[in-house]
Structure 1
């Protein structure tokens, strides 16, 4: 029987050794101040949808962590499957994808600052995905942990004006704690079968962010060592099948549904009760987001 921190019960029809989690120990934070700047509004003020008809879709950055210099952290077998699946999926959506493997905290922040200082004027949006170990509020680089807010703070409107008013999407595959999500049985029901008069607009500096976590705060996130994590498997499947049919929040609702309901995404063993997982979506989007074909 595996240790609680590794969590290796059966992932549906897979063998118990194929599932593991992305949990681990705490960290520190840094303060950061934002200076006000004026940015060009990329979308009509009263528009229901984001302007996704710029020249380019935008940058998609994947920080993939498999091996660590920290003795308490196991290698994340299966993360390269996630990374390749995500890379291919995002390329089909016309993102310019860049993958970084096993970077240190300093190198991650160097890359993030470089991206934030780039000109995104001709881009629809920005997407960043982090695949790593984590715990509540923290995620691991190769050498140490850091707060997730230390990544997205660089893309607020004052810090990155050419992304102001544009979607900033973050997909986080990592544990947010060391608790396992249980399950509950539900019985079936009998019925189953305005004019804009202002030339200048003010928006909150944290508007237009979407952060999709693989699990809820305090809980494990499961990863199959052969097929990749439950969350990334479902995310890529929905993006491939539904990105042209649904807005991003509807699509992510279906991702949550797949992770929560699909029998392939539950841990099971003779020694432990079935464990489930549910992703957690934090949205500050102010419009609908559609991935229209370019």
Structure 2
């Protein structure tokens, strides 16, 4: 698809997800060769009309140059003229209140209980499409409608002891303020802690694990600190206390697993780590000019890393054994890292870190319509286009052990 057409779809994503009737145009897109039968099947497998519309728009952006005009033609043929005209103009304006949202009958697959796996069947029922996001505790989406939704703990390490050879993290308070405001807006109870030593980090995680989360649907931990590499068997990296020693990320996640925190069993546990994963600097590789839209970092970018001569050897044997001995299968856990393991993470002393700045922006603009994993890919794309000092790059990533889609609460809910 042409870039200008993709941009029109992206500007109007909310309008499309809100008002599009996918069931009416799937046959047309199939007959015109825009979609394959497999793509249609995937769209129809989504339970709600809104999720079907979201999948249709995502797939549409991957098709050829004729996909956009064919899509407009299908919209007009099925009576969805308001959407067709909106896309034709390409102005990104919101639909006026007078434009009706067409309800549609959506096939919902329901698995029948049978005694033999070989004879498992499906029954199809029909539901009236509802133009709001469905947050039900099903195989598709996590339940995320508690109020507050959950606890968000922010650990913000800024001022480090002079003897530990770690620079102060100027600009981290900006990151902390952004995350505190953002997760309050997403209906979380936010607890912010500043300048925690190694033992205090573990104490705060233990206290969080001991709380009763029965009334909540989710738990979030955000750590802003220096980081380093560490031995691990699931989640890489470690984050430093302001006194120097580092806590392995896998030990931090272990506090909230189903064994150590029963009231969070089956509920999503989210960890956002703004810290270096090591001391390597990524200079990137050359691509054609139309592949990226490069963006320069700030004038005073710093690294959230320890000197390269330091390593995970500073971690005590007891910490490593603790992390290995009690970590079960990490279901319902997602750890989002600001950078690839082994590499530095960049922070502007005046604007905050690249990762947190873009995470905040993506959540603000897309939390009403997109799931968490999709939004993290948007963060990856945005950060990957920035360059520190016109040379160094950064690539965020995540270890995802979620079993369902996760949609945050928003004003459009």
For residues 123 and 176 of structure 1, the distance between their equivalents in structure 2, rounded to whole angstroms, comes to 31
Q: What is residue 212 of structure 1 aligned with on the other side? A: 336
Q: Contact 1:64/1:80 (CA < 8 Å) preserved in 2? A: yes
Q: What is residue 367 of structure 2 aligned with on the other side? A: 243
For residues 147 and 61 of structure 1, the distance between their equivalents in structure 2, rounded to whole angstroms, comes to 17
Q: What is residue 152 of structure 1 aligned with on the other side? A: 253
For residues 148 and 188 of structure 1, the distance between their equivalents in structure 2, rounded to whole angstroms, comes to 37
Matches within 5 A, 1:1-294: 47-69=139-161, 70-136=163-229, 137-143=237-243, 144-187=245-288, 205-261=329-385, 265-268=386-389, 274-293=391-410
> What is the Cα deviation at residue 68 of structure 1?
1.3
For residues 84 and 123 of structure 1, the distance between their equivalents in structure 2, rounded to whole angstroms, comes to 23
For residues 239 and 220 of structure 2, the distance between their equivalents in structure 1, rounded to whole angstroms, comes to 17
In the superposition, relative to structure 1, how do residues 45 and 243 fare at CA in structure 2: closer, same or farther (>3 Å)?
closer
> What is the Cα deviation at residue 179 of structure 1?
0.8
**Structure whose residues are more often helix by fraction:** 2
Q: Contact 1:65/1:101 (CA < 8 Å) preserved in 2? A: yes
For residues 387 and 151 of structure 2, the distance between their equivalents in structure 1, rounded to whole angstroms, comes to 33
CA RMSD of aligned residues (A): 1.9
> What is the Cα deviation at residue 114 of structure 1?
1.2
Structure 1 runs of 4+ off > 6 angstroms?
none
Tell me the TM-score normalised to structure 1 length: 0.75
For residues 45 and 289 of structure 1, the distance between their equivalents in structure 2, rounded to whole angstroms, comes to 10
Q: What is residue 198 of structure 1 aligned with on the other side? A: none
Give the number of the structure with larger relative contact order, counting CA–CA contacts within 8 Å between residues 6 or more apart. 1
Q: Contact 1:242/1:251 (CA < 8 Å) preserved in 2? A: yes
> What is the Cα deviation at residue 71 of structure 1?
3.4
Which of these two proteins has the greater Rg computed from alpha carbons? 2
Q: Can you list the C-alpha shifts for 1:164-216, whole angstroms capped at 9, x where unaligned?
A: 111100000001111111222322689xxxxxxxxxxxxx7410000000000
Q: Can you list the C-alpha shifts for 1:73-132, whole angstroms capped at 9, x where unaligned?
A: 110111011111111111111111011000112222121111101111111100001100
In the superposition, relative to structure 1, how do residues 55 and 89 fare at CA in structure 2: closer, same or farther (>3 Å)?
closer
For residues 138 and 378 of structure 2, the distance between their equivalents in structure 1, rounded to whole angstroms, comes to 28
